[in-house]
Structure 1
């Protein structure tokens, strides 16, 4: 089935199956893609999961998200005005589609017309200075008046100022928890206001309370949705620097606002400038840099290691599985080194790693490196 613009849309049953698969433990966006690649559909992948987990060394019953659990989330989403859009569908953010391993399903609530506006992210310190919040709100308002959509993370400080500055024109808030669990709680009213002219987005299940480890995923959404990312204030250990790094890896432009070397909240932004970020002294600095990208969006470089087609791979043998496990350890190891070390075909290596990941024994790292979990 296709929408009126010719883009394919999932049927209700397909969407339910996708939801079951992505909500099953140990299944992330990369694993989801590999499973669809290997089995052709979410339904077939769901059926194969218990055997894959067992082959990967899982000794406990493997719990696949049930039809009833997925239906409850779908019903709750429908009742609260939340939509679960799939990659490739009309209201999926177009720049997010281009990142490495985009979320297969994205929860959205609000006005999807904001996705048609060129997006720019503004992030920064939660304990922002008065000057920092004033500047963030000012450039957000000026960018909004130039028909840009402002993306941020609904946090205190700079994020809040960015959303408030663009609230009347359209802003997108990426959440670390479920859309029905905006964080922090004191920004609940702001989140509701955003849905009137903007959008809340999250890849997490409805009802999910955000944990510390969920915020890097939120930062990845902020960077992926946007053409460029502006950091207003940030310490050396700020999560905003994670967003900036991810944006740079995605081919987005990274901007930073300079600050006093005596203020710790400027340590991270000044370091970004030292490392090549574009300086921002006024809104025009951002607009002039981003305008050429609107018609020529960033292209993500091809993966250093393109996963092989798993649909015709014969099941690996026990000796092959043992050889791969023996080659792995707690130190992240490049997959191509595992191939060279074991002499096993890359497609089988990939399938064995998939089994280990579904069993909860494998951790993936940047640069196509993997390691075994230490239990």
Structure 2
């Protein structure tokens, strides 16, 4: 039989009905995970408000299953870190309901570096995707590790951008550490495990469950100095992460957008509630400068310009510059752009394609365009 602190911690953690709070209460009362497993009995159900099934699973664990979990750790890139171990990230330890243990695939040292969470819509606009990628890249180039949830949309773009800088990226997932959801993110997940870190609090083998996604959001914000919301509707899960950040006394930043874009409404709501409006990476770095030491070599590049400002916009012919003057930052139809500019609609369509390729306008379905 396996009988050590890590194995017993996994046994308690895997028992149904044991959350972070009950786990903490058990360890405080018994002194160690090993002692919990050895001494807990059904007479303790009232003291800890535990169902009999949980006590049975703790006192008589499935050691074969736990041994499989521990075998996962035999890979040098795989880690199980307990909350009382020095490898456990201090910022995460400070939050309410900190996970009693975390599974890490990749480099656990990244969890101790200055991090910023970046979250947003799973179905962002093309402009939102570009903003997420460019902000994450610029912040990573400044030495900031970017933390997100490996979801489709904004999360994926943040991870991709962060991997291009020196700060790297952390993905906090809502499944077991051996699962990747959605499957479309498997390639980026492999890159993160090789050059960053993937983190989960859920037992190995846990499949995607709706209730686990909001729960993991407290870890995304808990690891970070602050949370940046890129694009979010009013009922977006990203606002849950921002709520956790507020509760954890961490900074909340929001990137504004068009008043006509429903994906901007969540960000605008956060700004009304006191979130810091940001337009450039410099806005963020100035806010967190007192909390971290930014590498000198990285700072000038991050402050040089807006992270989303297209470099190509200064190299346009006169006709393209004229056309750009008639395109709003809010969604604008081809017909209106044609009327304003005086250019024929077919010519406008051709020019808009060039502008989109240069990264200075976004296109939406129905022939709608907006400036970036």
**TM-score, length of structure 2 as denominator length:** 0.73
Structure 2 residue aligned with 1:22 = 13
Partner deviation per Cα, 1:33-79 (whole Å, 9 max, x = no partner): 11111112223323314332377585768333333322221113324
Using a 3 Å threshold, how does the CA distance of structure 1 residues 44 and 151 change in structure 2: closer, same or farther? same
Using a 3 Å threshold, how does the CA distance of structure 1 residues 57 and 236 change in structure 2: closer, same or farther? closer
Structure 2 residue aligned with 1:341 = none
How far, CA to CA, are the matches of 2:50 and 2:282 in structure 1?
Answer: 56
Q: Which has the higher contact order (CA 8 A, sep 6+)?
A: 1
Name stretches of at least 5 consecutive residues in structure 1 with no aligned partner.
Answer: 1-10, 296-375
User: Structure 2 residue aligned with 1:141, among 137, 140, 155?
Assistant: 137
Structure 2 residue aligned with 1:166 = 162
Structure 2 residue aligned with 1:50 = 42
Partner deviation per Cα, 1:13-39 (whole Å, 9 max, x = no partner): 111111111111111111111111111
**TM-score, length of structure 1 as denominator length:** 0.72
How far, CA to CA, are the matches of 2:131 and 2:73 in structure 1?
Answer: 36
Instruction: Look up the SS of the partner of 1:17 in the other structure.
Output: helix
Structure 2 residue aligned with 1:63 = 57
Structure 1 residue aligned with 2:113 = 117
Instruction: Look up the SS of the partner of 2:159 in the other structure.
Output: helix
Shift of 1:101: 2.5
The equivalences for 1:1-375 within 5 A come to 13-46=4-37, 47-53=39-45, 58=51, 62-64=56-58, 65-79=61-75, 81-168=77-164, 169=166, 170-294=168-292
Using a 3 Å threshold, how does the CA distance of structure 1 residues 126 and 51 change in structure 2: closer, same or farther? same
Using a 3 Å threshold, how does the CA distance of structure 1 residues 103 and 59 change in structure 2: closer, same or farther? closer
Shift of 1:270: 0.5
How far, CA to CA, are the matches of 1:12 and 1:96 in structure 2?
Answer: 27
How far, CA to CA, are the matches of 2:128 and 2:50 in structure 1?
Answer: 51
How far, CA to CA, are the matches of 1:116 and 1:79 in structure 2?
Answer: 21
CA contact (8 A) 2:148 2:155 kept: yes
How far, CA to CA, are the matches of 1:49 and 1:200 in structure 2?
Answer: 36
CA RMSD, aligned part only?
A: 2.0
How far, CA to CA, are the matches of 2:3 and 2:150 in structure 1?
Answer: 31
How far, CA to CA, are the matches of 1:12 and 1:63 in structure 2?
Answer: 15
Shift of 1:218: 1.3
Moved more, 240-249 or 260-269: 260-269
CA contact (8 A) 2:176 2:206 kept: yes
CA contact (8 A) 1:77 1:206 kept: no
Instruction: Look up the SS of the partner of 2:80 in the other structure.
Output: strand
Instruction: Look up the SS of the partner of 1:109 in the other structure.
Output: strand
How far, CA to CA, are the matches of 2:195 and 2:145 in structure 1?
Answer: 11
- Size of the aligned set, in residue pairs, is 285
Using a 3 Å threshold, how does the CA distance of structure 1 residues 66 and 294 change in structure 2: closer, same or farther? same
